[in-house]
Amino acid sequence: MRRRTFLMGALGLAGAGAVSFVAGRLTGAPAAQPAPIPRASATLVHPRRNPPSIPEPLPLPFDFATPSLERRPAPDLITDLPGEGNLIALTVDDGGSSETVAGYARWAEETSMRVTFFVTASLPSWSENAATLAPLIADGRVQMANHTWSHVDLTTASDQQVVDELSMTDEFLQSTFGVSGKPYFRPPFGRYDDRVLAAASSIGYTSCALWYGSLADSGLIAEPELLQYATEWLLPQHVVIGHANYPTVVGVMPQLTGILRDRGLQPVTLDDVFTRPV
Ligand SMILES: [Zn+2]
């Protein structure tokens, strides 16, 4: 099997989750760029204060409801979910760990948890878990969206590279899962500008999905730390970013289920909340 090298840098800003994960150079793919310093933003940076206590694990089985919502058109930029409510969108990026992707799939199977994956398509974990993910995608618990082919900082890429990064991943999603990620893409490192948005939009990627809260697990962290971030950020109408790069999160899925249940939160995918352009 072809080995791929990944550089796991320092953790992003606390709470921003703006990351630290750079795909190595892959044959046939554009060169990865050095990890930039995440751009501070009033929307995405939230200092942590008074970390709450960590919850006990919730014994499985537990089954989340299937949401039935009045949907609205997907906006150009997503940072949270519109309006008042009890929805939570957990969005999971990259896919550096096949075991972790499998863990998320198992969570969706066992509890009806709903997850939107932002797939970095050059990583083998997505193909390796395709058979497990297919029925979850078919019944709507799992949604596949676009996180580029090689995790390049799109603000440093040419217009053509932006198009290639997104279209290669779209083709992968179509050939592997029979779905398109459109219109949702998440720019690596949360970095984008008007030029990136225009290039993405030119091929139907019209909705740039950011986040408002993070499990801060793009790099390796310990379970208690991840649970503190989860306790802090799994809140109503939030879009929370996690990563399928290390299996730490898999070990605390019972606790995450407990947080969501105790707070009366309804997990949703982006497709549960928004309609795609026709
Ligand atoms: Zn990423």
Residue 14 clears pLDDT 90, i.e. is over it: no
Phi/psi of residue 104, nearest 5 degrees: -65, -40
CA of 265 to the centre of ligand 1 (A): 25
CA of 22 from ligand 1 middle (Å) equals 8
> Ligand 1 centre and the CA of 21: distance in Å?
6
Distance (Å) from CA 105 to ligand 1 centroid:
19
pLDDT bracket for residue 278 (50, 70, 90): confident
Confidence at residue 32, expressed as pLDDT on a 0 to 100 scale? 37
Give the torsion sign (CA, 160, 166, 172, 174): negative
What DSSP character marks residue 204? Answer: T
pLDDT of residue 65 exceeding 70: yes
Distance (Å) from CA 109 to ligand 1 centroid? 24
Residue 151 CA to ligand 1 center (angstroms) comes to: 6
**What's the CA-to-centroid distance between 61 and ligand 1, angstroms?**
31
- Tell whether pTM > 0.75: yes
pLDDT at 180: 98
- Predicted confidence at residue 275, as pLDDT, reads 95
- Average pLDDT of the chain to the nearest whole number: 85
pLDDT at residue 15 tops 70: no
Distance 93 CA to ligand 1 centre (A): 5
The helix/strand/coil state of 266 is strand
pLDDT at residue 57 is higher than 90: no
26-33 long-range contacts, Cβ below 8 Å, gap at least 24? 26/122, 26/149, 26/150, 27/2, 29/122, 29/149, 29/150, 29/168, 30/149, 30/150, 30/152, 30/157, 30/161, 30/164, 30/165, 31/150, 31/152, 32/150, 32/151, 32/152, 33/152, 33/153, 33/156, 33/157
pLDDT digits (tens, 9 = 90+) for 170-218: 999 999 999 999 999 999 999 999 999 999 999 999 999 999 999 999 9
Cα of 94 vs centre of ligand 1, distance in Å, is 5
**Span from the CA of 91 to the centroid of ligand 1 (angstroms):** 11
> Rounded to whole angstroms, what are the CA distances from 46 to 15, 42, 134, 190, 211?
6, 8, 36, 15, 12
What single letter denotes the amino acid at residue 161? Q
Cα–ligand 1 centroid distance for 264 (angstroms): 29
Cβ–Cβ under 8 Å, residues 274 and 72: yes
Q: How far is the CA of 249 from the centre of ligand 1 (A)?
A: 16
For ligand 1, the distance from its centroid to the CA atom of residue 1, given in whole angstroms, is 23
How far, in Å, from the CA of 92 to the mean position of ligand 1? 9
Q: How far is CA 31 from the centre of its chain?
A: 22
Say which residues have a Cβ less than 8 Å from residue 26's Cβ, sequence separation at least 6: 4, 122, 149, 150
CA 189–ligand 1 middle distance (angstroms): 6
What is the tens place of the pLDDT at every residue in 73-112? 999 999 999 999 999 999 999 999 999 999 999 999 999 9
**Span 143-150, average pLDDT:** 98
Distance 59 CA to ligand 1 centre (A): 31
Q: Where are the alpha helices (DSSP H) in the chain?
A: 98-111, 125-128, 130-138, 159-177, 194-201, 223-233, 248-251, 253-262, 270-273
* Structure confidence at residue 29 as a pLDDT band (50, 70, 90): very low
pLDDT, one tens digit per residue, over 116-128 is: 999 999 999 999 9
Rounded to the nearest whole angstrom, what is the distance from the C-alpha of residue 72 to the centroid of ligand 1? 26
- In this prediction, residues 150-175 reach a mean pLDDT of 98
The answer, yes or no, to whether residue 226 has pLDDT greater than 70, is yes
What are the structural domains of the chain? 85-273 (3.20.20.370)
Tokens of 248: 């730490």
The string of pLDDT tens digits covering residues 234-255 is: 999 999 999 999 999 999 999 9
CB 213 within 8 A of CB 231: no
pLDDT at 167 over 90: yes
Query: Over pLDDT 70: what percentage of the chain?
Result: 78
Query: Do the beta carbons of residue 30 and residue 39 sit within 8 Å?
Result: no
The C-alpha atoms of residue 20 and residue 157 are separated, in whole angstroms, by: 18
Find where tokens 């947080």 sit: 259
